[in-house]
Structures are given as structure tokens and as C-alpha cells.
Amino acid sequence: MKQITYDAVIASPIGKLGLRTQDEYITELAWLPANRKLIAPTSSFTQLICNSLTLYFESTTRLPCFPLQPQGTPFQRKVWLAMQKIPAGQVQSYGQLAARLKTGSRAIGMACRTNPIILLIPCHRVVSVKGIGGYMGKASRTNIKQWLLQHEGVHDY
DNA sequence: GATACAGGCTTGT
DNA sequence: ACAAGCCTGTATC
């Protein structure tokens, strides 16, 4: 089995986060199980990102925009791009997003689910019209979504 | 209200 | 081609 190595793994209130970069781009920021070993960032670029993430978690600072380079289908990239335009502290429903992109709400869900860069592509700001919706394919992870939303000032979920 | 069903769109077998 | 997924709107108890 293939072991994925990250450029950095940091601890956060919602679990461990694995960061992978390529040149000066972020290619992945994934939620990891708690038994992952921490990896300190080595380059100044990854260090900067980790600092921002830590700051984001420990204060009300919102995340700055980093250059992203997510791998995915053209459709997924389109959705991810649209999601990045949702301002912090606000949420948008799958349906609204779907209407804007002229697609279906469930298709939006698929794109969210395969989001390789959590937080920076704010899939947690996309909610169902009635309820919070799911998160990363598992209902048990919606608490992460809730935490993030609450952290950004959304208390309706 | 609370279920049930069907519709619409993309992705992985 | 088929089934399934972070959904939604309408119909029917």
C-alpha cells in the first residue's frame, strides 16, 4: 500500500491536517486521522501556510488566499473556484451554487466531497437548504463542519 | 409536520 | 450502462 507523505502535518482543533505543495502551489490539504505523525514544515512557503492555519484556528483571523492547484476534473475545478468566492461567515446552499453554475445540486455535493484542499476551498460553507448537509462522505464528520462554521460566526447549525 | 418519490447532474464501477 | 452521492422540490399521508 502506498504511503502518502505530506510536506507538513499539523495539529488543529478539528484533527490533524496534511499539507502537500508543489513549487509555490498548494495541491492538497487533507484531514488526517489522529494517529498520524506530525511533520514540521521545512520550506518557508509551507511554514507560512502552517502559520496562517494556526492563526486561523486560534483567532478569528480569516484565511488568506494561497495559490491552489487542485487535481480534478474540469467540472470539479469550476465548482471549487466558485466556492472560494463565498465570503467567510456566510454559507450558500448546494442549490444556489448549482443554479449559478447551471448544474445540479448533487453534482455540487460530489465536487465538495472530493475537495482535495479543505478549508482553503471552503466546502464547509456549502450547506443543505434544510440542515448542515454532509461532510467528506461521513455523517460523523459533520461536527468538523459545524465547528468551522461556528468558528467563522455561523451559529445556525 | 413527516415521509415518499422523482428529477437532474457528475463520478466511479 | 448502472448505481450512488455533502440535494431539492412536489406530492401524499
Q: Where are the alpha helices (DSSP H) in A3-104?
A: 44-58, 74-83, 94-100
> Which residue, A102, A152, A157, is CA-closest to A127?
A157
List of A residues 28-87 with CB within 7 A of strand B: 72-73, 75-76
Question: Which chain A residues in 69-98 sit with Cβ < 7 A of strand C?
Answer: 93-95
Q: What is the pLDDT of residue A119?
A: 95
Print pLDDT tens along chain A (157 aa): 456 789 999 999 999 999 999 999 999 999 998 999 999 999 999 999 999 999 999 998 899 999 999 999 999 999 999 999 999 999 999 999 999 999 999 999 999 999 999 999 999 999 999 888 888 877 678 889 999 999 999 988 8
Listed by start position, the domains of chain A span: 8-58, 74-151
Query: At the topology level of CATH, where does A74-151 sit?
Result: Arc Repressor Mutant, subunit A (1.10.10)
- Would you say how long chain A is, in residues? 157
Q: How many CA atoms lie within 13 A of A17 on its CB side?
A: 23
| Beta-bridge partners for A30 | A18
